[in-house]
Structure 1
Amino acid sequence: MLLRHLRYLLAVADHGGFTRAAEALHVSQPTLSQQIRQLEESLGVNLFDRTSRSVKPTDAGQAYIECARRVLVELEAGKRALHDVKDLTRGTLRLAMTPTFMAYLVGPLVRDYVVRYPGIHLQIFELSMDDIEAGLADDSLDIAIAFTPVRNPDVECIPAFVETLGVMVGREHPLYERAAVLTPDDIAQLDFALLAPEFITRLSIDEYFRQHAIAPKVQIEVNSVSTLLEVIRHAPLATMLPEAIATEDRALRRLVVTGEAPQRGAALLRRGGNYHSAAALAFVDLVLERNP
């Protein structure tokens, strides 16, 4: 059995048939069919049910496909290990963060990392929590910063810091210069622009409102942190985002409120039991240094 057989197997499974799989692999359909037959003969089982219009894995085939995926992921990790340079003079780091971290954390971290390791090529992705977990599991990402807990048992969490959310406004808001402390009743009178409900940050915000019996007046919902920041800078609306985003250079001010602000744990995420490159380990050290 060759690695080619496993790649061909996964292509047929992922494309749902031999024709599209052959096109994706740039081989002829007879060649692909022959390779799959060879694999089935070597294993002594039928891996695909060919009796219907679409080609579907048999029960045995599905079990073997799952194992094949794990094998190829481990082999790719092994290939990277062979090329890893321990002195960090070169290498690649595939880093992902959820959207709110991109708004305030990615800049300082990348600045410090590049100063220390200018030879490392960075690939940075803004992804949802689901996509981060999937990327770590299939080894298309090295490391990520996101919220805990995670659902995928193959993803390892390293607690990094606690993020605090705050109510903030832009210069166009009448409360921008206000020094007084806002009560829950005061907050209930504000007009809000918030992230859309599918954001994990929005879940924390909604829970904060529920705990304080606040029925927020949500005028605008957006699916982008950068868009939300533009709205707040130019309209007399309030929002809730990580406190670190509210800075003078962004023309945002955090308002002081009574009671405890909502907090959530942030962690470094990586694939458990996987090879971790020197570049990835150095990034972990940098984050933990900043947040001891």
Structure 2
Amino acid sequence: MLLRHIRYLLAVAEHRNFTRAAEALHVSQPTLSQQIKQLEDVLGAPLFDRSGRTVRLTDAGEAYVRYARLALQDLEAGKRAMHDVQDLTRGSLRLAMTPTFTAYLIGPLLARFNSLYPGINLSVEEMTQDQIEAALAADRLDIGIAFTGSHLADIDSQTLFAETLSLVVSEAHPGFARQQSLDAQALGQQSLVLLSGDFATRQHIDLYCRQQGIAPRIAIEANSISAIVEIVRRGQLATILPEAITRELPGLRPLALQPALPQRTVALLSRKGAYCSAASEAFRALASAQ
């Protein structure tokens, strides 16, 4: 049984005449009659009484037409819903990002996206990069925001921008009132609060310290960017975080490291071959324009 069988059935039921129904459907009358006969054969009962001057539904036809109309209404509603998703009046988007992006990137980006597409339901999670890639591969996410580099085999990346890491201190920190930069050896003497070792940012910092031949003095480890920011803002500890965070959060000041930490390339991650919804495409376009 096909959708056209239901449309043909309802047209004949409405016009009570095969010829007029065929004209309304823009098909030949023999074709219409053949299709109705096929439907009756599938259902195992006659749907129309053809014995009079007009065609009328049989009792079986009356019962079936009621459900056929409901089914057609649901199909039409489904078509509208699909169009709604395509024009971004409805839909959903599952996002995840590594922790540093929650402090400076994702807030303004999601606020802008929501103002443009308020009908899109957003699900947002904070994860390590390994967790993001595993969730993408398992189709539990649509898009991840992380870094380029070595990825799982079925992960694609789209470059967004380069991120610079700096030493971050409180604006009121007395030891750095007039300094604009800090060399690696001085960094080795500074007490730090850093992300824990399972985060990509921390691994990037540890590699830099090994390359500079210094062992960082880690006073506190935390798995929360907001906690690290508050500790630095209210005390004498420093941290190493994206410089962009200092432009978004008050009470912080960046100091350039000499030599500088290598920049990291921020990217949108997705699963290779995954269906890309209209919401995903819109988010990609907005993120790329930042």
Indicate the TM-score class for this superposition, using the shorter chain for normalisation.
Answer: 0.5 to 0.7
Per-residue deviation, 1:180: 4.3
Q: Is the 8 A contact 1:147 1:266 kept in 2?
A: yes
In the alignment, which residue of structure 2 is the partner of 1:191?
A: 191
Segments of structure 1 that go 5 or more residues without pairing to the other structure are: 1-80
Larger Rg: 2
Which residue identity is paired with 1:255? L
Q: Secondary structure at the match of 2:181?
A: coil
In the alignment, which residue of structure 2 is the partner of 1:98?
A: 98
- 2: CA distance, partners of 1:190 / 1:280: 43
How do 1:87-126 residues align onto structure 2 when only pairs under 5 Å count?
A: 87-126=87-126
Q: Secondary structure at the match of 1:152?
A: coil
How do 1:123-142 residues align onto structure 2 when only pairs under 5 Å count?
A: 123-142=123-142
In the alignment, which residue of structure 2 is the partner of 1:203?
A: 203
CA RMSD for the aligned pairs? 1.9
In the alignment, which residue of structure 2 is the partner of 1:270?
A: 270
Which residue identity is paired with 2:163? E
How do 1:203-282 residues align onto structure 2 when only pairs under 5 Å count?
A: 203-247=203-247, 249-282=249-282
Per-residue deviation, 1:191: 1.0
Q: Is the 8 A contact 1:163 1:266 kept in 2?
A: yes
Per-residue deviation, 1:248: 7.2
Segments of structure 2 that go 5 or more residues without pairing to the other structure are: 1-80
What is the TM-score normalised by the length of structure 1? 0.67
Q: Is the 8 A contact 1:97 1:145 kept in 2?
A: yes
How do 1:31-70 residues align onto structure 2 when only pairs under 5 Å count?
A: none
What is the TM-score normalised by the length of structure 2? 0.68
Q: Percent identity?
A: 49
- 1: CA distance, partners of 2:246 / 2:113: 24
In the alignment, which residue of structure 1 is the partner of 2:61?
A: none
Per-residue deviation, 1:176: 4.4
Q: Is the 8 A contact 2:128 2:198 kept in 1?
A: no
Which residue identity is paired with 1:132? I
How do 1:146-185 residues align onto structure 2 when only pairs under 5 Å count?
A: 146-185=146-185
Which deviations, in whole Å up to 9, do the C-alpha atoms of 1:190-218 show, x marking residues without a partner? 11111111111101111111222222211
- 2: CA distance, partners of 1:146 / 1:105: 11
After superposing on structure 2, the runs of 4+ consecutive aligned residues of structure 1 that deviate more than 4 Å are 81-84
Q: Is the 8 A contact 1:164 1:243 kept in 2?
A: yes
Q: Secondary structure at the match of 2:229?
A: helix
